[in-house]
Structure 1
Amino acid sequence: MTRHHSVRLMAVGAATLLLAATGSVTASAGSHVTVIASGLNSPRQLAFSPGGGLYVAEAGTAGNPADSPCQEHPEFGEVCFGFTGSVSKVDPAAGGFERVLEGLPSAGSPADAIGPGDIAFTGNHQFALTIGLGGSPEYRAGYGPDAALLGTVVTGDLRHLDGLDSLTEVFDATAYEAEANPDATDIDSNPVGLATWGNGWVVADAGANAVVSTRKGGSTVAVLDPVPTVGSFPFPGFPADAVPTDVVRGPDGAWYVSQLVGFPFEPGSSTIWRVVPGQAPTAWATGLTNVTSLAFAADGTLYAVEIASNGLFAGPFGSLVQVHPGSSTHHAVASGLFAPYGVAIRGEYAYVTTGSVAAGGGQVLRIAR
């Protein structure tokens, strides 16, 4: 089955042109939305450190065909590798951002880069980072040895940041996918969402359609089944890939997993799954569309980001949604956002990345919830 595992947005070119023309990523978001940082390169997930710093993973701008290793992708044409990914610190109060870690792996094209995807903290300064791939070990090898950190989880320390030299690979999600192949289809790994779990991490691998633990060399926590389409395109019951995108620990100790759902990106097909290790996933909320990120507030309310609230074929304009457990209808806190992706909650505000497929056009919004 052909995978549509990453943020391959189909209409990215047109949406990016629209962004340039309007200069706005909050077409109908309302006055309770404030832009606090602009100029990011395809920002994805974001997280607060225990000390209160807000950090964003930027997927980057991939590589330059003129001087970077490139290869032909069967679906997307020429894709190139470069060291354009980064991690930035955003000032929630004063606004603006500073890139604190640069030169990280990034592959694809400037409008469809895969690189740093999520950041999670294990202490005041220690962090882990997913670096995506969207392919097999052979696809990764096609970029050459410099691309070895694509498809992995790495760790670092905010006090000692010096590009790749400051990072340590702790888990090769792509190698695990090649060995275990949790969903028993083609070998395809794209580690995106990340959460801490004891002395290791839990990873949402969008390509593998699985949630994986990094502990003891890797193990499969859950596999998400294909999602049969309701409509007639491309045919009734077409098995769309689940595409898990984020994993967070709930107040009850269970894992909660979001899903994008692959081609044809059918509206309303995304479910938030409750996962208890050793048990089958159970549907916790339904009726969402193309979900990329989850975050629990202190009061136990769950928020989700829909990168395209009407489905990706309608264009990457999405929403921040307050999720109602056990329901298929949910409250849009802010809508009309251009390619939103990540969410973090702090006090009465949600912080959301937008322009997640825009080189230099990414933003962080502060949204009163």
Structure 2
Amino acid sequence: MGKAAIRIGTTVAALALAAIGAPAVARQQDGGRAAPKTVVPLMGPRGVDALGDGRTLVTESGGNFSLVVERRHGPARVVPLGNLPSEFPPAIAKGPHGVIYLLTGASGPPPEQRQPALRGRAAAPPATLFKWKRGWPAPKPVVDIGAYQKTDPDPWDQENLPTDSNPFGVVALDDGTVLVSDAAGNDLLRVWPKKRKIKTVARLVPRTVPVPAGLPDVPPPMGPLPPAGTPIVSEAVATSVTVGADGYWYVGELRGFPATPGTSQVWRIKPGSKNATCDPLHPRKGACTRYADGFTSITDLAAGPKGIYALELSKKSWFAFELGLPGAQEGGLFLIRHRGATPRVRELAAGRLVNPGGVDVSDHVYVAGPLFGPGALLRLR
């Protein structure tokens, strides 16, 4: 994904793929009823934590994090809170007692290739969970996710990088612990900030996917590609995590190279689990079960009273976007509801989202994007 491979893409070394055999999914569109409205313009927005009452935490390129405050009369106000110097916007989540958590991903590019605003500045440590409270001059590191992953190798690694780490999604729990999804480690972690302790909740097993048709010639190191239809074992790439209304923990997959459309899954994990396995060959077994299948390049999840929302960076896949294929800039937002054995999926704001980076739900559904360049915080009806 170019800059898009972002640290999904420095994750690209950690990107991997999945298998077919998705269960039938009942899909429909909203007919445009959920047309998004711009709340406030932002630059390269990604992190979104909707707090309710028109207040939303956001992060932008360069590491700025702010509180957006909507007003009944007049435009929304952006209240700058701080900065965590990083090439790619950190993930953000509000915890108990006014604590705000920020999560950096894999290492950025070398100093000479950084954004102009970051050149000459010390970048925040990569793969680290930070916390910040009002009045603090800067976020403080809590735990080094990357260091933990060196002690917890991925047993199904396909890239010869079993201890690689690219923390990508974060959510704070009411008990003071924090969930982190690692897109390179292909797992869900639980952090105890006060004890500076980390445990592995669940590991996502690779699945086998066919090389998609319609891709152009790809140069090394990713190419040349095998013929379309050739099966490839590929990793899950756990980009996202949320807590459902049922209290269960949900994890979404990006799906790695070659990012075959329709192979990203959403997993449902029993709270308090340790070392669970999310296995596409046994999707109904154990503490981690498959909630839904058939998605493409999921970058974020959110939960609301109506169900789980899955956000796709590109409906054609991140790889198609990186290759510049026509239409690959269109993203997707889907509401997933389970009624019986078959999940019902409804697309929201169809055709109206461009490479969105983040989603969350309070009294409205909020989406941040485009992820690259000038963007906005959007509100859906």
Q: Match of 1:200? A: 177
Q: Match of 2:164? A: 188
Q: Give yes or no for the alignment of 1:120 onto 2:93.
A: yes
Letter in 2 for 1:153: L
**Among candidates 103, 106, 121, match of residue 130 of structure 1:** 103
Letter in 2 for 1:230: P
Letter in 1 for 2:166: N
Contact 2:51 2:362 in 1 (8 A): no
**Deviations, residues 191-242 of structure 1 (Å, cap 9, x unaligned):** 1211123232110011111111113521111111123113466442212221
Distance in 1, matches of 2:107 and 2:267, equals 22
1:254 Cα offset (Å): 1.6
Q: CA RMSD in A?
A: 2.8
Q: Secondary structure at the match of 1:285?
A: strand
Unaligned runs of 5+ in 2: 11-30, 109-118, 214-224, 278-287
Residue correspondences, number: 301
Q: Give yes or no for the alignment of 1:343 onto 2:359.
A: yes
Deviates more, 1:192-201 or 1:267-276: 192-201
Task: With the length of structure 1 as denominator, give the TM-score of the two structures.
Answer: 0.73
Q: Give yes or no for the alignment of 1:229 onto 2:209.
A: yes
Letter in 1 for 2:269: V
**What pairs up with 1:124-163 in 2 under 5 angstroms?**
125-133=98-106, 146-147=122-123, 149-157=125-133, 159-162=134-137
Q: Give yes or no for the alignment of 1:32 onto 2:35.
A: yes
Q: Match of 1:353? A: 368
Contact 2:56 2:67 in 1 (8 A): yes
Contact 2:145 2:165 in 1 (8 A): yes
Distance in 2, matches of 1:175 and 1:153, equals 12
Q: Match of 2:377? A: 364
1:291 Cα offset (Å): 1.0
Distance in 2, matches of 1:244 and 1:203, equals 9
Distance in 1, matches of 2:255 and 2:131, equals 29
Q: Which has the higher contact order (CA 8 A, sep 6+)?
A: 2
Contact 2:211 2:258 in 1 (8 A): no
Letter in 2 for 1:366: R
1:53 Cα offset (Å): 2.2
Contact 2:331 2:354 in 1 (8 A): yes
Q: Match of 2:239? A: 245
Distance in 2, matches of 1:178 and 1:115, equals 24
1:346 Cα offset (Å): 2.2
**What pairs up with 1:47-62 in 2 under 5 angstroms?**
47-49=49-51, 53-58=55-60, 60=61
Q: Match of 1:293? A: 300
1:92 Cα offset (Å): 3.3
**Among candidates 298, 303, 309, match of residue 315 of structure 2:** 309
Distance in 1, matches of 2:124 and 2:48, equals 24
Q: Match of 1:257? A: 251
Distance in 2, matches of 1:262 and 1:5, equals 13
Distance in 2, matches of 1:301 and 1:330, equals 10
Going from structure 1 to structure 2, the CA distance change for 1:196 and 1:102 (only over 3 Å counts) comes to: closer
Q: Secondary structure at the match of 1:182?
A: coil
Distance in 2, matches of 1:179 and 1:144, equals 33
**Among candidates 180, 190, 199, match of residue 213 of structure 1:** 190
Q: Match of 1:138? A: none
Q: Secondary structure at the match of 2:146?
A: helix
Going from structure 1 to structure 2, the CA distance change for 1:98 and 1:52 (only over 3 Å counts) comes to: closer
Contact 1:49 1:124 in 2 (8 A): no
Unaligned runs of 5+ in 1: 10-27, 61-83, 108-113, 136-142
Going from structure 1 to structure 2, the CA distance change for 1:307 and 1:29 (only over 3 Å counts) comes to: farther
Seq. identity, % = 28
Letter in 1 for 2:140: T
Distance in 2, matches of 1:147 and 1:339, equals 25
Contact 1:33 1:365 in 2 (8 A): yes
Letter in 2 for 1:182: D
1:48 Cα offset (Å): 2.6
Task: With the length of structure 2 as denominator, give the TM-score of the two structures.
Answer: 0.71
Q: Give yes or no for the alignment of 1:90 onto 2:68.
A: yes
Going from structure 1 to structure 2, the CA distance change for 1:181 and 1:105 (only over 3 Å counts) comes to: farther
1:8 Cα offset (Å): 3.8
Q: Match of 1:12? A: none
